[in-house]
Amino acid sequence: MTAAFTAIAPLAQVTGADLCVPLADGSTRTYANFDYAASAPALTQVVERIDQLLHTYSSVHRGAGYASKVSTDNYENAREIVGRFVGATDEHVVVFTRNTTDSLNLLAGCVPGSVVVLDIEHHANLLPWKGSRIVRAAGTIEETIRRLVVELCARPAGLLAITGASNVTGEVLPIARIADIAHRCGARILVDAAQLAPHRAIDIGAWGVDYLAFSGHKLYAPFGAGVLVGRRDWLDCADPYLSGGGAVRNVTVTNTQWALSPARHEAGTPNILGAGALAAACETIESLGFEYIAEHERALCEQLVAGLRTVPGLEVLSLWSDCEDSVGIVTFTVDGFEPREIATYLSDVHGIGVRDGRFCAHPLLDRLGHADGAVRASIGLGTGCADVERLVGAVRTLVPESALA
Ligand code: PMP
């Protein structure tokens, strides 16, 4: 480890930082969590807020009692906080969902035209769009954008649905530029921000993004809430995502008058704690400052990639040679080792948690030449340079010492 890396401490306190896990030899070790991209641990501020919310926890929107009124205020306040966090404007409405997958399925029921997607997307941003037009991403962002333009110009599309940051390589797309292109071609744009929201400031107003989806559990907020933020017109023209109480203005036995969004798509008792946790996470992350968050993970990723590259036969996966930014995700393979073998070894022998497999992005892994999968190490606010050093050291012990430089 070089001197530059010695000072990188975790940026925030998260749950599970002192978790001790069993190793195969019967001993225990403090867990090193490198699986933030799947689900991030909760920020301690989020846990504290949940505790507070539980004091007045009650039904929302319908009760006249004090606790119900406070819970309703908390829930609606959470909606405002989340909207501000992503730069929503008066044209956008914030709908609470279960997660990104839920948000995208909701929107799929609202889009009036065809949907254009890249072939690199997470399944959540591939499968909900029925009859989508799939564009093959190129080896550079420039050429990928050119291909999108060709497809969008070839015949009108209702929506371009695109990821903000790849869940496999962490690479970030220039969303404001792509939004502008989509609009010029007459399409709206949806950004799957599941991986972007925990890592980079988002401003859908300034970027011209029409719809944005992300998940609380990747944003240090457990309890299962997600969000779809988007323009009201399509949402209000579509059938409600779920039919039931709360989504209506008036019901007779022969007729139903549906409410406008967000209530229209939030039938049933909502996830009050999930929404509150998500809002608390947004506030905490904002107070940390995205410039520090980006710098923290840039330094850790640099350390991680530099360390991993010393391992013979190790390949770090990437999509675009001209990509200028990526979030805290490093996915790799090591010649001669199955991804599951590496992940199991890291867990059983070193107490390190990574993810292996195809990351719900089978077409992408196929085209990267790794149809059998890879290993993904992802970092976040609770990661420090000592964790990275431990992971690099553990991966180095995989290969025979004679092969190491
Ligand atoms: N999109 C991306 C880019 C993701 O990484 C994920 C989660 N792996 C999803 C969508 C789906 O998120 P969720 O499981 O929270 O619905």
124 lines ligand 1 (CB under 6 A): yes
Active site residues: 360
Provide the β-strand partners of residue 250. Answer: 257
* Ligand 1 centroid from CA 53, angstroms: 27
Q: How many C-beta neighbours within 10 Å does residue 58 have? A: 16
| 193: pLDDT strictly greater than 50 | yes
What average pLDDT score do residues 182-211 get?
Answer: 98
Ligand 1 pocket, mutate which of 122, 127, 163 (most atoms under 8 A from CB): 122
Question: pLDDT tens for residues 28-55?
Answer: 999 999 999 999 999 999 999 999 999 9
173 lines ligand 1 (CB under 6 A): no
105 lines ligand 1 (CB under 6 A): no
pLDDT of residue 6: 55
Q: Of all atoms in ligand 1, which is nearest to the CA of residue 103?
A: 16
166 lines ligand 1 (CB under 6 A): no
74 lines ligand 1 (CB under 6 A): no
pLDDT of residue 5: 55
Question: pLDDT tens for residues 66-104?
Answer: 999 999 999 999 999 999 999 999 999 999 999 999 999
261 lines ligand 1 (CB under 6 A): no
- d(CA 288, CA 94) in angstroms, rounded, equals 23
| 134: pLDDT strictly greater than 50 | yes
For the chain, the first-to-last Cα distance in angstroms comes to 15
- d(CA 154, CA 187) in angstroms, rounded, equals 12
Q: Of all atoms in ligand 1, which is nearest to the CA of residue 38?
A: 8
Q: How confident is the model at residue 1 (pLDDT cuts 50, 70, 90)?
A: very low
Residue percentage of the chain with pLDDT more than 70: 98
Q: What are the CA-CA distances from residue 270 to residues 58, 99, 216, 260 (Å)?
A: 11, 13, 14, 16
Q: Which of 274, 237, 271 is nearest to 112 (CA)?
A: 237
| 20: pLDDT strictly greater than 90 | yes
pLDDT of residue 103: 98
pLDDT of residue 403: 76
Q: Which of 36, 18, 16, 39 is nearest to 301 (CA)?
A: 36
Of the ranges 4-8, 174-178, 251-255, 323-327, which one carries the lowest mean pLDDT score? Answer: 4-8
Question: pLDDT tens for residues 223-239?
Answer: 889 999 999 999 999 99
pLDDT of residue 191: 99
Question: pLDDT tens for residues 341-379?
Answer: 999 999 999 999 999 999 999 999 999 999 999 999 999
Instruction: State in words which class domain 45-288 has.
Output: alpha beta
Is residue 176 within 8 A of residue 207, CB to CB? The reply is yes
Of the ranges 19-23, 221-225, 259-263, which one carries the lowest mean pLDDT score? Answer: 221-225
pLDDT of residue 209: 98
Ligand 1 pocket, mutate which of 35, 36, 96, 100 (most atoms under 8 A from CB): 100
Is residue 36 within 8 A of residue 44, CB to CB? The reply is no
* Ligand 1 centroid from CA 170, angstroms: 13
Q: How confident is the model at residue 3 (pLDDT cuts 50, 70, 90)?
A: very low
Q: Which of 343, 399, 317, 401 is nearest to 32 (CA)?
A: 343
Residue percentage of the chain with pLDDT more than 90: 95
* Ligand 1 centroid from CA 124, angstroms: 6
pLDDT of residue 2: 46
The whole-chain average pLDDT of the chain stands at 96
pLDDT of residue 63: 81
Query: Could you tell me the pTM of the whole model?
Result: 0.97
376 lines ligand 1 (CB under 6 A): no
Q: Which fold has domain 3-42+289-404?
A: Aspartate Aminotransferase, domain 1 (3.90.1150)
What average pLDDT score do residues 202-217 get?
Answer: 98
Amino acid at 255: N
Question: pLDDT tens for residues 262-316?
Answer: 999 999 999 999 999 999 999 999 999 999 999 999 999 999 999 999 999 999 9
* Ligand 1 centroid from CA 7, angstroms: 32
192 lines ligand 1 (CB under 6 A): yes
Q: Of all atoms in ligand 1, which is nearest to the CA of residue 359?
A: 8
What average pLDDT score do residues 150-154 get?
Answer: 96
Structural domain spans, the chain: 3-42+289-404, 45-288
CA angle 173, 135, 159 (to 5 degrees): 75
- d(CA 199, CA 217) in angstroms, rounded, equals 13
